[in-house]
Amino acid sequence: MDHLEKTRLFRTPEDYDYGVNTLAFATRKYPVKILCYSLMDNHFHLLVMGRYQDCLSLYQWIIHRLRILLKQRYSISGLLSDKALDVSAVNNERMLQNEVAYILRNTYKARIASPFSFAWNSADVYFNPLRENVRGTPFREMDVREKKALLQTHVPIPDDWEHTNGRILNRCFVAYKQVEEHFGDSVRFFDRLRVFDIESAIRAERGLPEGITFTDMELQEKVQAICVHEYHVNSYHQLDRKTLLLLARTLARRFSATKPQIGRLLGISQEVLNQLL
């Protein structure tokens, strides 16, 4: 999906869990396999296999569920389009391997976490001999009412699926075996993850600084700290217009925050930010 410029899609662990479960439910509604995914705070990446129209229907249903998330939890509506704006057909094995590597490395490139320590992507199931040892709570132990209350859906869930604190385990719905078949072995898989970002590798070899970037979540904490300690308010919502724009300049100067990030965090239009920064 196209990234959101003025707000965040996933803000809390519960939001991210809702997103993972939505992907799992979608595989029960449409004849489409999810090969790989990663949820970022203002967008997500999804590698799927199926007929184009089925894949598009799956995507549209996912967007429908995420609209419900934004509306019910944050009173936000009208931001998510169900048109898949960046669709790439994967035509060969090399491209598939690159797509998987690109998707899983997103959290690393965004300075959030390594792919394997981030809870809301599919990295944990590939070439992992311990994946079957990760035990969750089987849905067979829950009645229909309990499932509905926990998962907020009417979609039937297989009894052998498992969850951990309400988040469905990746091994239940990610077609990881097919991804493993395309890589062949774990060496090729981990090597592709390691060397895929050529630009960073070159900068490291030349001793050039990569630059420090902050995630939206990290910047949100800094916004809160600045508001409390420098402006003596509890939230940026309490700032007048002039001070809000001053805060925007501060984020850009101190933390190299981008205009889209500042727009999402402070609700300032890109037109205003283009003039300001």
- Local confidence pLDDT in tens for the 277 residues of the chain: 877 877 889 999 999 999 999 999 999 999 999 999 999 988 899 999 999 999 999 999 999 999 999 999 999 988 887 775 667 788 888 888 888 988 898 887 777 788 888 999 999 999 998 877 778 889 888 887 887 788 878 888 898 999 999 999 999 999 999 999 999 999 999 988 876 553 454 344 345 444 556 777 778 888 998 999 888 999 999 999 999 999 999 898 888 888 888 998 999 998 999 999 8
- Position 205 scores a pLDDT of 38
Determine, yes or no, domain membership for 210: no
- Position 202 scores a pLDDT of 30
Determine, yes or no, domain membership for 6: no
Determine, yes or no, domain membership for 7: no
Residues 85 and 174 in one domain: yes
Q: Where are the alpha helices (DSSP H) in 82-185?
A: 93-104, 106-109, 144-151, 170-173, 176-183
Q: Which of 203, 238, 255 is the last residue of a domain?
A: 203
Determine, yes or no, domain membership for 208: no
Phi (first) and psi of residue 231, to 5 degrees: -110, -5
Nearest to 173 by CA among 115, 238, 234, 125: 125
- Position 82 scores a pLDDT of 75
Residues 147 and 241 in one domain: no
Full-model pTM: 0.72
Determine, yes or no, domain membership for 2: no
CATH code of the domain containing 148: 3.30.70
Q: State the Cα–Cα distance between residues 38 and 256, nearest whole angstrom.
A: 25
Residues 124 and 256 in one domain: no
Residues 61 and 190 in one domain: yes
Q: Which of 203, 226, 257 is the last residue of a domain?
A: 203
Determine, yes or no, domain membership for 166: yes
Looking at the structure of the chain, the number of domains it has is: 2
β strands within 132-228, DSSP E: 137-138, 162-164, 167-168
Domain hosting 256: range is 216-276
Nearest to 73 by CA among 114, 28, 16: 16
Residues 199 and 222 in one domain: no
Q: How many residues appear in the chain? A: 277
- Position 213 scores a pLDDT of 62
Determine, yes or no, domain membership for 43: yes
- Position 155 scores a pLDDT of 83
Strands 167-168 and 137-138: unpaired
Residues 18 and 81 in one domain: yes
Residues 155 and 257 in one domain: no
Cβ distance 87 to 46 under 8 Å?
no
Determine, yes or no, domain membership for 5: no
Residues 97 and 221 in one domain: no
CB atoms inside a 10 Å sphere around CB 138: 13
- Position 195 scores a pLDDT of 65
Residues 79 and 152 in one domain: yes
Q: Which of 203, 226, 244 is the last residue of a domain?
A: 203
Cβ distance 247 to 238 under 8 Å?
no
Residues 183 and 234 in one domain: no
Residues 133 and 250 in one domain: no
Residues 227 and 152 in one domain: no
- Position 102 scores a pLDDT of 85
